[in-house]
Chain A
Amino acid sequence: MPTAISLLLLLAVLGFAVVRPRGLPEAVGAVPAAVLTVVAGLVPWRDAVHELGDLGPTVGFLAAVLLLAYLADRSGVFRFAGAVAARWSGGSPQRLLGIVFVIAAAVTAALSLDATVVLLTPVVFTTASALAIRPKPHVYACNHLANSASLLLPVSNLTNLLAMSAAGLSFLGFAGLMALPWLAVIAVEYVILRRFFADDLATPPHRPPVEPVPAPRFALAVLGVTLAGFALASPLGAHPAWVALAGALVLAVRLRVGLPTLVRKANPGFCVFVLALGVVVLGVSRSGFGTLVDRVAPHHPDLLGLLAMAFLAALLANVLNNLPATLMLLPFTAHSPGLVLAVLLGANIGPNLTYVGSLATLLWRQILHKSGHPPVTGEFLRLGALTVPACLIVGVASLWVSLRVSGL
């Protein structure tokens, strides 16, 4: 019975977050569910408070990074990226795809997947259209890389931030182990997309005049220093969230952005949602479902164990969503950094299978037929079916090599 209640609560929270009736913030559904989880005795309140304390700094970090991405956009960083891509491509669809891969991978790694989806993708579409290039491959590349290129740094994805604190990895330690899988997975995506969209990429190049966009030097410098700060903060004992906040504040002062805008763009509602979701998922992991996951999950970070863990995480990410999947699997893997990183491979790459993020999202959307969103196309599902297993296998193999080399 507790299992059923906790799962129902989780599904309700996810459904609310996807549908957002009347545009209400996702926290409106999640907070009552978290309270119910505690009231129903699924999670003792002390544990709930402990969970919130654990998640707090991570969520603060997320808010600062979202803010940083927004201010980078206001400074013209993404517009500049689009102009650079247009100039360097020389109007060639194939070369533009290569440049989009580099930019999308860098943006995702440094400013999180959210920046790629919300801020970079529209710029890439406009750039391709202005060059009379079919934009589909390039938009799909952004979409896919937002997930699969979010492996490199803890800031790239909220799942990574959660994992970093769970596994006790340092910022640089995380990046060192994930660099090889990150590169390998991007290479796999590139090869598959190039072949999948061969028709659309074969059109002759045009060279319409591209208006030069001045480089936002100040913003780029701040972003560079902030990134270096992430790496330096951990050894010095400071939480990288402070570095991100400092970078964001420098940009905000320069752009003269007011405090109300800053608070709004840090997405406090979304942060509350993540905290509440943490409590609801804790209820699920303590129930029979958690026991089942524990029994199924591998416990040794050998090649087979890593592979099984990555596929399990990808499966859970597709059934629920990657955030609940990560929260659920982390407690069972915290003893081994290798297994934690395998969870991330699955949870980060897995969502490419169903482009809306997960089966739960997909079902909710199909059921309620949310207006304004076109239906899922077979093409996207086929592309996901091609890339996800290949990326998982190659990613796990290179993670195994990284672990062996580093002696973990």
Chain B
Amino acid sequence: MWVTEGTWPACVDAVRALPGDVTLLHVVDVATAAALSGPVGLLGRSGPADQGEFLLAEAAIELLDAAAARLGRGAVRQTRQGRPEREVVAACADVDLLVLARDGDRSRLGPRSLGHHARFVVDHAPCQILLVWPESTPALRTLPPPPHHDQTR
């Protein structure tokens, strides 16, 4: 199960009903790490180099702890660092099912409900996928009308 900020509770709720062993995976985005620890203060000055790493590690532990507590049963915790979409796909090499949440436009049904990272994972993961809506699912009436030439035919 891919645990990301904001959407993980929906994933946990979906996983709870499933049998089998669960792995909670969180990926620390290398871009966030870079932005946190880049020496961009006055020339030559920068914060302690390991401060960013420390904050990221702490946040990852808290996130996985919260997910494990909501799940309510034993689960393996895994933290990776890199480009999230690539790391998630790589972590799927030997799992049966990946559970992840949509992270795009939640107001209507359609392709925009998948953000760039989730889109990449859905397109490339080497396993079965369970894609859940965080919070409620949009109503069917948000479906766009069929293309014009279909209506006139």
Contact = CB atoms under 8 A, between A and B. Distances in A.
Interface of A: 14, 17-18, 20, 26, 62, 93, 112-114, 117-118, 121-122, 125-126, 128-129, 132-136, 139-140, 143, 146-147, 158, 198-200, 202-204, 206, 267, 270, 273, 321-323, 351, 355-357, 361, 372-377, 379-380
A310 to B, nearest CB: 20
Contacts of B35: 136, 139-140, 143, 355, 380
A133 B30 contact: no
B34 A147 contact: no
A321 B43 contact: yes
Contact of B39 (A198, A270, A323, A361): A361
Q: 9 nearest interchain CB pairs?
A: A203-B6, A199-B115, A17-B44, A129-B59, A372-B49, A26-B44, A117-B41, A377-B31, A374-B34
Contacts of A18: 39, 44
Contacts of A322: 43
A136 B40 contact: no
Contact of A202 (B38, B39, B45, B115): B115
Contacts of B79: none
Interface in B8-53: 8-9, 29-47, 49-53
Nearest to B82: A374
A355 B41 CA distance: 10
B87 to A, nearest CB: 13
Contacts of B134: 203-204
A381 to B, nearest CB: 10
Given A140-B35, A372-B50, A133 B42 contact: no
B41 A136 contact: no
Interface string B127-138: 000000011000
Nearest to B105: A202
Nearest to A197: B115
A118 B34 contact: no
18 contacts: A114-B42, A117-B40, A117-B41, A122-B36, A122-B52, A126-B59, A132-B63, A133-B5, A133-B6, A143-B38, A202-B104, A202-B106, A204-B135, A351-B40, A372-B50, A373-B38, A375-B30, A379-B31
B5 A356 contact: no
Nearest to A119: B47
A17 B39 CA distance: 11
Contacts of A62: 42
B118 to A, nearest CB: 8
B116 interface: yes
B29 A125 contact: no
A125 B34 contact: no
Contacts of B66: 132
Contacts of B106: 202, 204
A136 B30 CA distance: 10
A342 B120 CA distance: 42
A118 B5 contact: no
Nearest to A17: B44
B34 A375 contact: yes
Given A122-B51, A372-B50, A374-B33, A199 B116 contact: yes
B46 to A, nearest CB: 7
Interface core residue of A62, A113, A135 (most chain B CB under 10 Å): A135
A118 B46 contact: yes
